[in-house]
Structure 1
Amino acid sequence: MVELLKEEASIIGFPFSKYISSEKTRTLIDGGNIKEIGKENSLNTEILLDLQPQLVVGYSVSSAVKSLTTIKNAGINVIYNGDWLEETPLGRAEWIKFFGVLFNKEKQADSIFNVIEANYIEAKNIALKSSNKATILSGAIMSKDIWNLPAGESFVAQFLKDANVNYLWKDSKGTGSLSLSFESVFDKAQSAKFWIAPGYFSSKEQMLKSNKIYSKFNAFRENKIFTPATKKGKTGGIIYYELATTRPDLVLKDIIKITNPKLVPNYNLTFFEVMK
C-alpha cells in the first residue's frame, strides 16, 4: 500500500525483509536504506530505537505487544494496522486510506481504492453470468489429521462467493478457519472439481509424502489443484501474501479464470498456478 502511494522511500525499517519481493523496495533494502528489524513477533527494539522513526506501524498480537510497548515508552509513535481483522476482501484493501492519511495523500488513496473496488465489482458481475457453479475444496491437513480450511463467513469464502462458485463449506459459521477431521472432508469433497489453496504445499509429490490419501480426491487426479505457493520473488517471498490484500480484484479474477476461464479469456493468472 505504501508503494502504491509512491512512498516506499519513507520506510526505514522492516521485519523479516527477505520476504519483500518488490523490485523497487528490494533496491532500497540492498542499498541499506531499509534496515532489518527482526521478525514480526520479535522485533529488535535496539535497532529500531537507533533508527528513530517518526512512526512505527505495527499490529497487535500477544507476542508483538511487548516490543511495541517498549518502543512507545521510548517516545516513538506507534499505530496499529488492523487490516487483517477485516472480514471482506475490499475491507482489507480499503486500508490504503489509512496510509493515505499518514502521508497526506487522502485523495490519491481514495482514487486508488476506488479503481480497485470498481475492478472487483466488475469481475464479480462477470462471474454472475455463469450458471455453472463448480464445487470447491480448500485447505489441507496441517497437523495430526486435522484439516484446516476457510470458514463460511471468512474473507476467503467471500472471494469464492463473489466468484460464483460452490464452496462446499459456504454455510459454515465463523470468520477464521475450520478444523475438521480428514474423514469428514474426504466424504464431502472427494468429488470436488477444483482444489484451491491446499495449505502450504507447493507440489503434488510433497502432498503425497504427507498423506497418500490426497491422491483419491478427484481434483488431485485431474490436475485441478491451484496454489499461490509457487509464485515467489527473488528472495523467497510468496507474491500472494505480499500483494493479495491490496489487490483483491486480481485474486477474484484468478478464481474466475480457474473455474470459468471463458468468462475472462484475455486475463492471465496473477497469483495462482496449477500444482504440478
Structure 2
Amino acid sequence: MKNTNTVWWSCQKYRSFNGLISFWSILIIIHFTTCNPVGENLSISSGDTARLSYAERFSIVHYDTTAVLTVMDEQRQVVQQYRTSTYPNSCRGVSACFQIPVQNTVAMTTPYLAIIDALGEAGAVRAVSSIMSLYNATLTHLNENGKIITLGSTKNLDQEQLVALGPDALFIPYTRTALELHDKLIELSIPVLSITSHKETHPLGKAEWLKFFGVLFNRTPEADSIFRGIEDDYLQTKQRYQGQHNKPKVMAGYARRGSWIAPGGKSYFARLLEDAGADYVFAENGDSGNITLSFERAHELGQQADYLFFISMGPVKWELIRAREPLINDWQSVTQGKVFSNDGSINAQGGNDYWGKGFLAPHVILKDLAMALSPNTIHPDSLVYFRKPI
C-alpha cells in the first residue's frame, strides 16, 4: 500500500462500530481507501465541488466537516491531494491531512503571504523565506518582534530551525528545486502543501487561489468575497479597453547575456496585454512560460513595436541596460519614450511587489497596462506596479 493519506477518512465513518467490525474487515476497508497510487485522483462519490471560473490547477470538494483539495500541474495531472478536518486531533499522525484552521504556517513565496494577509491571517505566519517578502509595515513589525522569522530559500532552507518551529502547514511552490526538498521535509514530519498557482495562465486564475487558502484557514466566505471584487474590477477594465480598434503593438521581456527573455504567447502576461487592448508581438506563440530568443531577433521585433514593457524581478537599471545592449536605443518605443518597467512598487525591504502583492492584484496590473497604452486618457504617474524608467 503506497498511500496512507486517507485512513482517517474511513476511521471517522466507522469509529462507532469499533466493537462490531472484525480486524480483517477493518483491513479491507483500509485497503480500498488507501491503496491509491501516488498521482492518481481518489474517487470520492459525493460532495459539493466548489465552482472555479478561471483556476485550472486545483479543485475543492466540500463535505459536512471536511474538504478534499486537489493540486494539479500544467497537464492537469494530480500532483497531490490534501484532506482537511474540523475534528480535533483527527489528522494526528496522518500525512496530507490538515486540521483547520491552520494556525502555525510557513509561506515560502511572497504570493502565498499576500493571500494569507488578505484573508486577515498574517498572524498565523511564523516564517518566510526572505525578509524581502515582508511588503508592508504590519509584516515588518511582526518580523522585528520575532513573530515571523526567515528560513532561507528552498535551496538553502534552515531545516533545523524549521523543525524547531514545528509548523502545521508549509506552503511551497511545485518546482524542480522544491521537489528535491519535499521528500526530505516529509521525512522530518513537516506537513507540506505543494502549490502550483504559478502555473496558472489566466491572471484571475492566479488570484482564484484565494479559495484554496480560504479552506485551510477556514475563511471561505472571505476568500469568495475578495475574489469577486477582484474579478468585477478586472472585467470592467477589460470591457473598457479590449475592444479598441487601433491596438498598439507591444514588445515585452528583458535582456540577459545577449538574449531576450519574453513571456510566451499563452502566458499570464500575454493574457494581460490582450485584455488591455494590445497587440503582443508574440501573441501567436504557443508557450505558457517564458521563451528565449537571440537579441538580434528581438531587435527586429522591437523596432516594430509601439511600446516596450520591461519585466524584471528587481529594480530596473535602464542606463545599464542601454549600455549593454546599445541596439535597444534604436527601438521606436525607446526613441519615443514609450517604455514601462514592472518595478513601480519596490517595498522597504527591496522586493518587487509586482511578484508579491501583484499576484492578488491582476485588476490593478491590468489598469496599469491599459493606462500606459492610453497616455492621453490617464496620466502615467497614477500607475501602481509599472513606471516609466526613461
TM-score band, normalised by the shorter chain? over 0.9
| Partner in structure 1 of residue 240 of structure 2 | 126
Assess, with a 3 A threshold, how the Cα gap between structure 1 residues 265 and 224 changes in structure 2: closer, same or farther.
Answer: closer
Unmatched runs of 5 consecutive residues or more in structure 2: 1-114
* Cα drift, residue 64 of structure 1: 2.1
Give the letter for the 2:143 counterpart.
I
| Partner in structure 1 of residue 177 of structure 2 | 63
Q: Distance in 1 between matches of 2:183 and 2:279?
A: 44
TM-score w.r.t. length of structure 2: 0.67
Q: Secondary structure of 1:273's match?
A: coil
| Partner in structure 1 of residue 281 of structure 2 | 168
Q: Distance in 1 between matches of 2:211 and 2:181?
A: 26
- Per mean C-alpha deviation after superposition, the further-off stretch among 44-53 and 256-265 is 256-265
* Cα drift, residue 129 of structure 1: 4.8
Give the letter for the 1:168 counterpart.
V
- Per mean C-alpha deviation after superposition, the further-off stretch among 68-77 and 100-109 is 68-77
Q: Secondary structure of 1:12's match?
A: strand
| Partner in structure 1 of residue 263 of structure 2 | 150
Q: Distance in 2 between matches of 1:210 and 1:122?
A: 40
Q: Secondary structure of 2:118's match?
A: coil
| Partner in structure 2 of residue 72 of structure 1 | 186
**Match runs of 1:218-257 below 5 Å:** 218-257=332-371
Structure 2 residue 338 is matched with structure 1 residue 213: no
Structure of greater relative contact order (alpha carbons < 8 Å, 6+ residues apart): 1
* Cα drift, residue 190 of structure 1: 0.4
Give the letter for the 1:141 counterpart.
A
Work out whether residues 299 and 327 of structure 2, in 8 Å CA contact, stay in contact via their aligned partners in 1: no
- What per-residue deviation string (whole Å, max 9, x for no partner) do you get for residues 171-229 of structure 1? 11111111112222222220311101254671331112211111111111221110122
- What per-residue deviation string (whole Å, max 9, x for no partner) do you get for residues 33-70 of structure 1? 01111113331111111001111111222222233322
Q: Distance in 1 between matches of 2:344 and 2:249?
A: 23
| Partner in structure 2 of residue 31 of structure 1 | 145
Out of 214, 221, 230, the position equivalent to 1:107 is: 221
Q: Distance in 1 between matches of 2:380 and 2:160?
A: 50
Work out whether residues 137 and 192 of structure 1, in 8 Å CA contact, stay in contact via their aligned partners in 2: yes
* Cα drift, residue 235 of structure 1: 1.2
State the number of aligned residues: 275
| Partner in structure 2 of residue 46 of structure 1 | 160
- Per mean C-alpha deviation after superposition, the further-off stretch among 110-119 and 207-216 is 207-216
Q: Distance in 1 between matches of 2:344 and 2:323?
A: 18
* Cα drift, residue 238 of structure 1: 0.8
Q: Secondary structure of 2:282's match?
A: coil
Assess, with a 3 A threshold, how the Cα gap between structure 1 residues 231 and 152 changes in structure 2: closer, same or farther.
Answer: same
Give the superposed CA RMSD: 1.9
- Per mean C-alpha deviation after superposition, the further-off stretch among 237-246 and 65-74 is 65-74
Q: Distance in 1 between matches of 2:229 and 2:200?
A: 19
Give the letter for the 1:53 counterpart.
P
Give the letter for the 1:191 counterpart.
Q
* Cα drift, residue 262 of structure 1: 5.0
| Partner in structure 2 of residue 274 of structure 1 | 388
Give the letter for the 2:181 counterpart.
S
- Per mean C-alpha deviation after superposition, the further-off stretch among 205-214 and 5-14 is 205-214
Work out whether residues 256 and 263 of structure 1, in 8 Å CA contact, stay in contact via their aligned partners in 2: no
Work out whether residues 135 and 348 of structure 2, in 8 Å CA contact, stay in contact via their aligned partners in 1: yes
Give the letter for the 1:192 counterpart.
A
Structure 2 residue 298 is matched with structure 1 residue 188: no
| Partner in structure 1 of residue 43 of structure 2 | none
Q: Which of these two proteins has the greater Rg computed from alpha carbons?
A: 2
Q: Secondary structure of 2:192's match?
A: strand
Q: Distance in 1 between matches of 2:237 and 2:217?
A: 30
Structure 2 residue 218 is matched with structure 1 residue 98: no
Q: Distance in 2 between matches of 1:220 and 1:48?
A: 47
Q: Distance in 1 between matches of 2:160 and 2:188?
A: 11
Out of 192, 202, 216, the position equivalent to 2:316 is: 202
